[in-house]
Amino acid sequence: MSAIAHQGQSPAVTLTFSMAPGLSMQRGTEIVEQAMRELGAPASIRGTFQGNARAFADSLASQPVLVGAALFAVYIVLGVLYESTIHPLTILSTLPSAGIGAILALWATGHPLDLMGIVGIILLIGIVKKNAIIMIDYALVAAREQGWSAEEAVVEACLVRFRPILMTTLTAILGAIPLAVGTGVGAELRQPLGLAIIGGLIVSQVLTLFTTPVIYLALDQLRPGTAPRQVGEPAATPLHGPSPG
């Protein structure tokens, strides 16, 4: 041997591997790591990924920071829009159900939570929160301009905004179906993305229609100057009041 390859200060040997058709990069790296453990190599020998595998691992490591930054940016924008530090939390409360739905959809179809699945969850941040925005925006305007209580405003918002919430969600689901069922070149990237979007939208649609009004009422009690309604206190609920704005 005329030369000895080094990685840093240590001698190194590079072993390459190819991915089987339909196998994700995440699953491939897990198989390699499992094989390394089963070999029982001494502590003086260690293995690290390079090339595409290392880039994939680095991208996964940075995803929590990216998701956290996206949530913080959304919170700031919503806080400025509604001039409140409370009700942006009401809107962001819809996101956990979307993430759960995306993970369940990937698990049910045998796809791991890889990079494309995480990208789908990030996309859901923008798509899913519109359900709460459509509802809470109406309730806030009704409470401010019509003088309704929080209970009256959110009930009216649920009735008036149900159809646009349902229509926009169905449109997004139908738009993601070609990604989820498509075949051909690049299908292994598109399918997890489409499945994550569809699963997240379905679960969030079912849950947030019931949980968002409850969270809105609970957080509304935290606003300065808001006195909690006494138990048994009557409150007239307009079923079809005038539309604010």
> Is the distance from CB of 92 to CB of 168 less than 8 angstroms?
no
174 vs 185, residue with greater confidence: 174
pLDDT above 50 for 244? no
Q: Residue 47 and residue 224: Cα distance in Å, rounded? A: 57
Q: Residue 131 and residue 150: Cα distance in Å, rounded? A: 18
pLDDT tens column, 155-182: 888 888 889 888 988 998 998 898 888 7
Q: Is residue 118 classed exposed, middle or buried when 0-12, 13-18 and 19+ CB atoms within 10 A define those classes? A: buried
Nearest by Cα to 1 from 13, 16, 19, 18: 13
> Is the distance from CB of 74 to CB of 95 less than 8 angstroms?
no
Instruction: Determine the topology of domain 62-220 in CATH.
Output: Multidrug efflux transporter AcrB transmembrane fold (1.20.1640)
Reduced to 3 states (helix: H, G, I; strand: E, B; else coil), residue 7 is strand
Q: Residue 142 and residue 138: Cα distance in Å, rounded? A: 6
Q: Residue 245 and residue 235: Cα distance in Å, rounded? A: 23
Q: Residue 63 and residue 80: Cα distance in Å, rounded? A: 26
pLDDT above 70 for 233? no
pLDDT above 60 for 192? yes
For residues 11-32, give the mean pLDDT.
70
Beta-sheet strands, E only, within the chain: 6-7, 10-11
Q: What is the pLDDT of residue 99?
A: 86
Q: Residue 159 and residue 135: Cα distance in Å, rounded? A: 9
| Locus of tokens 């100057």 | 225
Query: Quick one: pLDDT band at residue 53, thresholds 50, 70, 90?
Result: low
Q: What is the pLDDT of residue 243?
A: 46
Q: Is residue 157 classed exposed, middle or buried when 0-12, 13-18 and 19+ CB atoms within 10 A define those classes? A: buried
Q: What is the pLDDT of residue 82?
A: 78
Share of the chain above pLDDT 70, in %: 76
pTM across the whole model: 0.67
CA within 13 Å, CB half, 48: 11
For residues 40-52, give the mean pLDDT.
71
Q: What are phi and psi of 146, to 5 degrees?
A: -100, -10
How much is the mean pLDDT over the chain?
Answer: 77
Query: Where are the domains positioned within the chain?
Result: 62-220
What residues contact 57, with CB distance under 8 A and at least 6 apart? 29, 49
